[in-house]
Amino acid sequence: MSSHHGHDHHDDLDPPRVEEVADKVFAYVQPDGTWWINNTGFIIGDEGVVAIDTCATERRTRRFLDNVTAITSEPLRVVVNTHHHGDHTHGNYLTHPAAIIGHDRCREEMIAGGIHTYEGIFGDPTPDWGDLELAPPMLTFSDHMHVHTGEMGIELHYIGGPAHTTNDIVAWLPEQRALFSGDLVFNGGTPFVLMGSVSGALTAIERLRTFDAEVIVPGHGPVCDLGVLDRLADYYRFVQEVAADAHRSGVAPLDAARETDLGDFAELTDAERIVGNLHRAIFEAGGGEPGARIDLAAAIGDMITFNGGRPLRCLA
């Protein structure tokens, strides 16, 4: 396995793949979908290409954009950010001069947080991020917006909750019944709501069911369908039950996580997210408002402790 600049650190991962999930609607799926390794997508129409999200590193985003130009000579005109997290937005600057669209709070969070790579938290070695530049959405909205390219109609909807974050939107193609869910859906990975809400995530799942999607491009993991939502809801309800017990007996999130048998959920990748999820869920069990600010540094520190004091596995 080679590891040097300009190449993937992790040649043992399967390469990213382009999947045409409907006519001229593409998912770009990056294995293995763990921390910072997200999915993107793109839609080709007569007025150019609309991309859904960018990637965590300069190298990964350039590879994504190369895959787009290998398929179409249409220019990239619009980039939609499903939420503010760096694995979906770090590469925005490489799409210049495309217009970047996101929720109002996506722009706010990106400007407030800057380029955030959580030094010392992820990977050993640290991911090769590249020369990242902050490029938040220039066009923002609060509830919904429609994007058009030729015959292709793309609806953007704020899903609320808060759920994965305070600014989760989906891209919905009603004619193709294709839904780009962002991180409202993890397929195969542990869902993560430290920066959003557990109860809100359950509300968001019910909202996602109303789209009658035939195909879902999740934020992480393989392309899937609505069936994935039941498992997500089961996980969130499990977290809520553990949190309710912990709150009643005054057990801290880290201890609650250590004492919890994850059962079938242990098969999901990035299992240490249970700690962050419990920080959020115990806060809510105590009457905390969904999406309110909590001590993220404490929660992330506890995830590392849970992980044996080592940086979290990250192959970005």
Q: Are 173 and 148 in contact (CB under 8 A)?
A: no
Query: At its nearest, how many Å lie between Zn ion and the CB of residue 176?
Result: 24
Q: Name which of 85 and 280 has its Cβ closer to Zn ion.
A: 85
According to the binding rule CB under 5 A, does residue 105 interact with Zn ion?
A: no
According to the binding rule CB under 5 A, does residue 103 interact with Zn ion?
A: no
H/E element holding 54?
Answer: none
Q: Which of 136, 142, 154 is nearest to 95 (CA)?
A: 136
Query: At its nearest, how many Å lie between Zn ion and the CB of residue 90?
Result: 12
Query: At its nearest, how many Å lie between Zn ion and the CB of residue 85?
Result: 3
Give the number of residues in contact with Zn ion, rule: CB under 5 A: 2
Residue nearest to Zn ion (CB): 85
- Cβ-Cβ contacts under 8 Å for 4 (sequence gap 6 or more): none
Q: Which of 226, 194, 223, 211 is nearest to 295 (CA)?
A: 194
Q: Name which of 183 and 272 has its Cβ closer to Zn ion.
A: 183
Q: Name which of 194 and 251 has its Cβ closer to Zn ion.
A: 194
Query: At its nearest, how many Å lie between Zn ion and the CB of residue 83?
Result: 6
Provide the CA 296 distance to its chain's centre, in angstroms: 17
Dist. CA 163–CA 201, nearest whole Å:
4
Query: At its nearest, how many Å lie between Zn ion and the CB of residue 261?
Result: 27
According to the binding rule CB under 5 A, does residue 168 interact with Zn ion?
A: no
- The piece of 43-51, 80-88, 240-248, 258-266 that touches Zn ion (CB under 5 A) is 80-88
According to the binding rule CB under 5 A, does residue 270 interact with Zn ion?
A: no
Report CA-CA distances (Å) from 222 to 14, 111, 270: 12, 31, 16
Q: Which two tokens stand for residue 130?
A: 């590249």
Identified binder of Zn ion from the candidate list 85, 90, 157, 231, rule CB under 5 A = 85
Query: At its nearest, how many Å lie between Zn ion and the CB of residue 95?
Result: 19
Query: At its nearest, how many Å lie between Zn ion and the CB of residue 13?
Result: 19
Q: Name which of 74 and 183 has its Cβ closer to Zn ion.
A: 183
Report CA-CA distances (Å) from 256 to 159, 200, 274: 30, 21, 9
- The piece of 40-48, 78-86, 146-154, 224-232 that touches Zn ion (CB under 5 A) is 78-86
According to the binding rule CB under 5 A, does residue 183 interact with Zn ion?
A: yes
Q: Name which of 74 and 109 has its Cβ closer to Zn ion.
A: 109
Q: Name which of 24 and 85 has its Cβ closer to Zn ion.
A: 85
Q: Name which of 85 and 231 has its Cβ closer to Zn ion.
A: 85
Dist. CA 84–CA 86, nearest whole Å:
6
* DSSP H helices in the chain: 58-71, 86-89, 104-113, 198-209, 228-249, 253-259, 273-285, 296-306
Q: Facing residues of 19 across strands?
A: 27
The residues that touch Zn ion, with contacts defined as CB under 5 A, are 85, 183
